[in-house]
Amino acid sequence: MPPRPAAPPASSPPADQPPPLPPGPGSEPSNPADQTPEPPDPPAADRIERPAETPRARGHVGTRPPTYDAEPTALPAADPDDLDDLVADTVLDGARYGACTLRAVSVRGDSARYRGEPRRDALLTARFGTGERALLLVAMATGVRATPGAHRAAAEACHWIGRAVGRSHARLVEDIRDGRRGDLKSGLHRLTDRSLGKLRASASEQGVDPGEYAASLRCLLLSADPGCRTRVFFGVGPGGLFRLREGEWQDIEPQVADVKGEPVLGFGSPPSETPEGDRLTMDLGIPTPPSPYEPAPEPPREPFRFRTSVARPGDTLLMCSGGLAEPLRGEPELGEYLAERWSRPEPPGLAAFLADSQVRVKGYADDRTAAAVWEA
């Protein structure tokens, strides 16, 4: 029998394990005599260079890990007589039409995963029409926090706007291709008002406070025509609209005005039209001219947001709910990470997009819903 190899000295760590880190400030042991002296640094030739930990590896950005676990913990309570009311933890979708590639995702937030609450965000992706005359709609909605039917209200908001846009898609396609921004703004304003009016009517039918059975709503319209680079955003309520151009994020969220006429969102007052052809329209309570789509219903409770932008090859347009918009604005490292990931020559696949959208930040635990468009 060959002799047993001698055990390594107690002071030397295994070859595949780095030496223990010294205690940080305020964490010295109570008895300094019990502290094991650290071994000397190995020669430079023997050192193993370890790559820096990436957000993908640790699952978050920032100096501290998030409060909640990264994976779902508890399922929402289910009613055996109303199983259609259940909401999946994650919804993922994508498509490629014309010059653009679409990725869309809605993920339950860390807090809701821990507490066993349903996802308050809803996501709808739909195509109306065929060929180059097809219209792509991405709609996302967020229900009111801490209300029992928040997920149902968000789903209804997406349902109603999807039906309204689908019935008017032929006219909308023509307006987008011909650049009729005025008709688009007034028409989409009324389609949004009508959809949210139906949501308030649904609340009344259920005997629920309309202020609780409500939702923010954000939508993106894309033409399937490869020659049409106009992208149309509209909606009501908070969230984010960003553009990644030449590796830098631009916050192009349409600004609204409060009752005093002061801007309350964004990083400054953008011009009505940019050199690239982007146009921004604010609703300041001025009556909108008659719509070519439908009669004017009751106005929404929040200002209407509208923007058209002309995409360039290489751009990435991101529309998202507040659950992603807030950490993007509040944690620069998240923006830097996503900019690096989404500036690559090819758009990410569905699995990669899902992983990127879930990189977490401490202090931000809401649902995240995002739709990104890569321009070829």
What are the pLDDT digits (tens) for 103-154? 999 999 999 999 999 999 999 999 999 999 999 999 999 999 999 999 999 9
* The predicted structure's pLDDT at residue 285: 39
For residue 205, pLDDT beyond 80: yes
CATH of domain 86-375: 3.60.40.10
Considering the chain, what percentage of its residues have pLDDT values greater than 90? 67
Weakest mean pLDDT among 29-43, 217-231, 259-273, 320-334: 259-273
β-sheet with 90-97: strand ranges across: 90-97, 100-107, 368-375, 316-320, 240-245, 248-251
Strand locations in the chain, DSSP E?
A: 60-61, 90-97, 100-107, 121-128, 135-143, 215-223, 230-236, 240-245, 248-251, 279-282, 304-310, 316-320, 360-361, 368-375
Q: Are 213 and 203 in contact (CB under 8 A)?
A: yes
Weakest mean pLDDT among 75-84, 277-286, 292-301: 277-286
The pTM of this model reads 0.76
| Residue 99 in tokens | 């010059």
* The predicted structure's pLDDT at residue 27: 40
* The predicted structure's pLDDT at residue 55: 56
Strand locations in 19-131, DSSP E?
A: 60-61, 90-97, 100-107, 121-128
Residue written as tokens 């060929």?
Answer: 131
Q: Name the residue with higher pLDDT: 370 or 61.
A: 370
For residue 160, pLDDT beyond 90: yes
For residue 373, pLDDT beyond 90: yes
Weakest mean pLDDT among 52-66, 124-138, 264-278: 264-278
